[in-house]
Structure 1
Amino acid sequence: MDHIYCPLEIKAGSNDDDGTFVGYGSTFGNVDDYGDTVAPGAFRKTIADAKSGAAQWPALLSQHSDVPIGIWTGMEEDERGLKLKGKLAINTRRGADAYALLKMKPRPAFNGLSIGYRAKDFDLHKSGSGPNGAKRTLKAVDLVECSLVTVPADRFARVGGVKSWLEEESEAPAMTIKELAWMDFVALRRLTETRR
């Protein structure tokens, strides 16, 4: 099974502690660390099959583990990518831990989303000659799961913000996805350098 890491935006529902959030499991035109890019329409069959009951909904996991931490309640493609709505099982230890990590201050501990899928239709590109230098363009995938992750392959695949956190800390402006990505990139570079 392949994985792609993409941006996630967290927004609390009407009840701030109900564990609901929205995000993008994949964005179109992005090239990940594996050289893959996703074309619009790649998730069309997965979405249709899940909504009609012809197939199971993708699992909501943490770090691609085998244990679910909630469920996806909404799934659609828009001009940006695969938009997902999820609900964490906050009455369970893993779900509550995940939600707490999403809402941490001054930045979330979880800051990415990663899809696990089976490629059904794709184009291979020699020497990264595809769109934006991609090695492979995914045109149709069977989405198996989507995980909250700590370190996504796409360094700009980050949490956009947690609604309750932004409202509570009005004096502390929200960081942009790019700023969060840069902080993580610098921290990972330091970690790598200290291990040499």
Structure 2
Amino acid sequence: MTKKILLIMILLVSYTAANDFNDLKTMFLKKQYAKVCSKSVVLYPHHKHNSNFLNIFAVSCLNSDMINKLMVPIIKLYKTKADRENAAYYATILYKKKLLYYALIDHIDISYVRLPKTNYILSNIFDKYVQKKYRFKGNSYWFDDDHDTTLKYQLSIEEVRQVKKMYLRTYKDGILIKTRTYW
């Protein structure tokens, strides 16, 4: 009798985990990236060996600017060439964020650093920062967009509850349209 109960429990957990992953994929296709990123943290123990899950997790965290959570899927993406390539891409973004934070907070010169390019916004800001392609005005670094002359980016450090954070603000025609926060 105990074996039957154990088997039923295992099947129930497997069914629930599969259902959760299907729900996650549906949210991902609807571009509900913040929800997918947050829910993936909870579902991670059940899907940590599934490359599709790990990449959906990572891409959702990137698209919702929750890049600190990238560390979780990066660790498990090693089985295939594509997994390793994706992990290196995500790690590059995370590393650039950490180096930029370090440089801004501790006034460290990182202009000699050369890392692979990615298409993530903070990665582009990092590249411009190390190449000194910015204007410093009012305790902020200002960057121009390479493709859209109506876009400008403001990078600043602000202290919130005794934690220094990087704020990347995007302006279109001088109007604030998005704020990203990193630490």
TM over 0.5: no
Larger radius of gyration: 2
User: Structure with the greater relative contact order (CA < 8 A, sep ≥ 6): 1 or 2?
Assistant: 1
TM-score normalised by length of structure 2? 0.25
Structure ranking higher in helix proportion: 2
